[in-house]
Amino acid sequence: MSLSFTCIIWLPVTTYLAGTSGRPRSSIKGRFILDVATMYVGLPRFHEAFFGRVAGLKTTSEAIFKKCMEGGEPLFSNGWSGWPTDANQDHVLSWFAELNEKLEKTQPNKPVQGFTAEQKLDVGFVDNPKARKDSRYHWSHILVPGELKSNPSADIYSKAWLDIGTYAREVLAAQDTRRFVLGFTICGSLMRIWEFDRLGGIASERFDINTDGLQFVSTVLGFLCMSEKELGFDLTIRTANDKRFIEIERDGLTERLVIDEVMQRARCIAGRAITCWKAYREGYTQIPLVIKDSWQYPERDEEGELLREATNQGVVNVARYYYHETASGDVLSNRVHRRVILRNYGKSIYKVSSRSALLAALEGCIEGHESLQRKAGLLHRDISINNLMINEDDDNLSWPSFLIDLDLAVREQRDGASGAKGKAGTRVFMAIGVLLGEQHSFMHDVESFFWVLFWICIHYDAQGKDIGPTEFDSWNYEGDNKLVRPKAGRIGDESIFLKIAEENFTSYYQPLIPLVNRLRRKVFPNGER
């Protein structure tokens, strides 16, 4: 891909939010703050940091801007010619289109190949040289999203900043090899440049494009001339003969792992941002592998090392180790891009074919959890609906059911109380005691198995069909103390629990009410934690 085949467009936006349980939402505005750990606006020398690496940009920008100021009717003279005084969004779009055509004639290599528009949303750069005004694009085509506002006062979090963050979130979700996203906002004639990565968002100081025309030209050309790496793409994932692959060094040999499909891509900006691909070693299509990329805290035990240790100790029903590495050399201030490859492939437990198979899979995963603790001394700490897997394919040599994701796992203390301090896990499945700040223990994970089964019985029909929103969806976002009350209130009294189950379990899972109640009695003896 080359940005010499780029155009500016209005983006038709279609968005949804995946909560921590993996259930879709109709809108992501208002939830964006949940994804961004930090947002710093007004960083000096931002332009130099991100565009200074583009070879020849300074010289080219100065030459082009000089031409913009020449002639009897210069493009720039005390401001850009034709700039709409009202900064109306549609008028600004038309101005961009006209300026685009004029700059195209000015630039030696003509990097801008066209201009296309869709009404009423936002402007950005795409990688399609055939873009036209009536073209429509998916987020997978967007290289640099932008946001236009007519009023300079919209340069605040609740308006332009929220919008550009929302768009960056969608780009990251749709492009599975994207490590970060650059963008821009223009409010009136005030412009900022943005970067969103797994730590959050940062933005440049704002500048007036009608006062600093050279910086505006340099910014546009910078976006057009950036390489894939400079735009945030992961170059370790390559393409040849219409196949995507990575190469690894294992046991002294180079192996090519061909990517079949995307299994999971986290819909978030900040965080671990887990992406999983189904793959196979070239020449061994019958043996499925899973490639998992994530952004981890450097001080945390590497998941690859924990998995290798568990596999070597003979742990059962836990995804088996194949390989791990640091995926790329660029390290954020407190995140590192790690890659783990597993020898087990399956689907999330809620997609199971029958009720009896669900119970058998749950039992197998509980056995895996116990084996992980007894044989390897590891506590999982993130028992959740997407970390319990089932394999119902007779040709798949993976475990029939198994645990994945040791990102939050810890080694149990040998010389003191078991467990680890600090809250960990997926919110809706976290044990009540963990929400209250108790030291995380083996029994807290056992309680999480109960909440996984409870959640499945309420939210899914046969074959894992999602029934849509329920009153329990707010558990994804409730604060710790607020979430404790509804959880405790549903398990303490048997008659209350049975009434809740009868009213909320799907018709498909109604027959499991007696069994789920028996499990409740075991996990919460006498209705207590």
How does pLDDT run along the chain (529 residues), one tens digit per residue?
333 333 333 333 333 223 344 443 334 444 444 455 578 899 999 999 889 889 999 999 999 999 999 988 899 998 998 898 877 777 887 787 677 666 655 544 433 333 333 333 467 777 766 655 556 678 888 899 999 898 999 999 889 999 999 899 999 999 999 999 999 999 999 999 999 998 889 999 999 999 999 999 999 889 888 999 999 999 999 999 999 999 999 999 999 999 999 999 988 888 888 999 999 999 998 899 999 999 988 888 899 999 999 999 999 999 999 999 998 776 556 788 999 999 999 999 999 999 999 999 999 999 999 999 999 999 999 999 999 999 999 889 899 999 999 999 999 874 344 445 568 888 999 999 999 999 999 999 999 999 999 999 999 999 899 999 999 999 988 888 899 999 998 888 999 999 999 999 999 999 999 999 999 999 999 888 8
| Token code pair at residue 188 | 């009136």
Q: Locate 281 and state its tokens.
A: 């070693």
| Burial of 314 from C-beta contacts in 10 A (0-12 / 13-18 / 19+) | exposed
CA distance 474 to 438: 23
Q: Which amino acid is at 444?
A: H
Distance CA 484, CA 137 (A): 43
Q: How many CB atoms lie within 10 A of CB 440?
A: 25
Structural tokens at position 25: 């939402």
Tokens of 100: 């685009």
- Residue bearing tokens 């894939």: 228
SS3 at position 410: strand
Measured between alpha carbons, how far is 36 from 57 in angstroms, rounded to an integer?
Answer: 31
Please provide the DSSP assignment of 28-51 as one string: -TTTHHHH-SEEEEEETTHHHHHH
Kindly report the backbone phi and psi dihedral angles of residue 255, in degrees, each rounded to the nearest multiple of 5, phi listed first. Answer: -115, 140
In 52-88, alpha helices (H):
57-68
Of 190, 187, 232, nearest to 215 (Cα)? 190
The sign of the torsion formed by the CA atoms of 207, 209, 213, 216 equals positive
The b/e string for 332-347 (b: 16+ C-beta within 10 A; e otherwise) is eeebbbbbbbbbbbbe
pLDDT value of position 297 = 82
Give every CB contact of residue 149 below 8 A, 6+ residues apart in sequence: 89, 155, 159, 160, 185, 186, 187, 188
What six digits make up the tokens of 22? 């993996």
DSSP 140-151: GGEEEEEEEESS
Three-state secondary structure call for residue 385: coil
pLDDT of residue 136: 67
- Confidence (pLDDT) at 475: 92
| E strand or H helix at 254 | strand 253-265
Beta strand 288-296 pairing with 336-342: antiparallel
Q: Which two tokens stand for residue 423?
A: 């809250």
- How far is residue 281's CA from residue 255's CA, in Å, rounded to a whole number? 7
- In this structure, are residues 207 and 218 in contact, taking their beta carbons and an 8 Å threshold? no
Q: Which residue has the tokens 């900022």?
A: 192
Question: Token digits for 228?
Answer: 């894939």
Give the residue among 156, 161, 195 at the shortest CA–CA distance from 50.
195
Distance (Å, rounded) from C-alpha 292 to C-alpha 304? 10
Confirm if 157 and 39 have CB atoms less than 8 A apart: yes
Looking at residue 100, its pLDDT comes to: 65
Torsion of the alpha carbons at 49, 54, 56 and 61, rounded to the nearest 10: -70
